[in-house]
Amino acid sequence: MLKRLLKITAALALLYVLISAALFAAMFQSPDNFAHTMKHVPWPLMMVLPFQPLWDIARHGWLHPGQPAPDFDLETTDHRSHFQLSSLRGQKPVVLVFGSYT
């Protein structure tokens, strides 16, 4: 009986590690891919997975206060032109706000 309980516990622990690793790998994907993955994760599972610690590691930035933001190029919402962050360098202060409003 003890061996069976040990095997079940080991299998559940392995399953927990594998699901956590898959979640961690998904966190490194683009926001669209991550959202696609997360829509399949049941809410009760989110309560037992180490989401916040993994998120903090996966999305930890490498910039420090005072360092310039990496350059990027974005298409405008009307899809008619592009905006490049470096085009504003040295002209005026720029505040970048990243987040989700959904």
pLDDT grade for 89, boundaries at 50, 70 and 90: confident
pLDDT of 102 over the 70 cut: no
State the average pLDDT over residues 36-51: 90
* DSSP letters spanning the chain: -HHHHHHHHHHHHHHHHHHHHHHHHHHTS-HHHHHHHHTTS-HHHHHHS-HHHHHHHHT-----TTSPPPP-EEE-TTSS-EEEGGGGTTTS----------
